[in-house]
Amino acid sequence: MARLAAGVVLVTAYDPEDGPQGAYVGMTATAFVSVSLDPPLVLLSVRTGSRMEEVLARRPLWAANLLAEHQRQVAGRFAMKGRLSDRLLFQELPHERGDVAEAPLVDGALAQLECRTEERVPAGDHTLLVARVLTAHVRGSGTDGPLTYFQGRYRPLG
């Protein structure tokens, strides 16, 4: 599967149960695809037992930030094992809070989708989330390319 190029997204959510004011959580993902245009549905695969899977089991609202090629560092930071706390990572990452999902919408992303999980499907060591797209924002100049992941590395398209 390392031979299949994939787009890179930063999945974000707001966890109201994390501390007195809640906290943001984030995860880099490459297993994210469009499923349907009518209704607008997407599919996300998350590792079962991960922090993100646990949050999304309790809270069905989340966001997918489709990363641009210049956001390789963002993708890498949220993909690291044993990384800094998400709280610290989001302090350094320019973003705004989504109106619907209350999840971070990252500045500079090619597009930002706010989603609501409609179905959870166990699949091996992952859980598949089928989600309805509630809002979609296209950002950037239109000249930025997507960040892709191919053969174990982040790469620009082309």
**Segment 96-112, tens digit of pLDDT:** 999 999 999 999 999 99
Which pLDDT band, with edges at 50, 70 and 90, does 143 fall under?
confident
Look up the pTM and report it: 0.94
pLDDT tens-place string over residues 63-88? 999 999 999 999 999 998 876 688 88
More confident residue, 144 or 83: 144
Question: Residue 121: how many CB atoms within 10 A of its CB?
Answer: 11
Query: Cβ(103)–Cβ(62) under 8 Å?
Result: yes
- For the cut 90, the answer to whether the pLDDT of residue 35 exceeds it is yes
Query: Cβ(26)–Cβ(8) under 8 Å?
Result: no
Which pLDDT band, with edges at 50, 70 and 90, does 141 fall under?
low
Query: Cβ(61)–Cβ(157) under 8 Å?
Result: no
What tokens were used for 145?
Answer: 């390319």
CA–CA dist 83, 92 (Å, integer)? 14
Which residues are bridge partners to 132 per DSSP? 41, 116
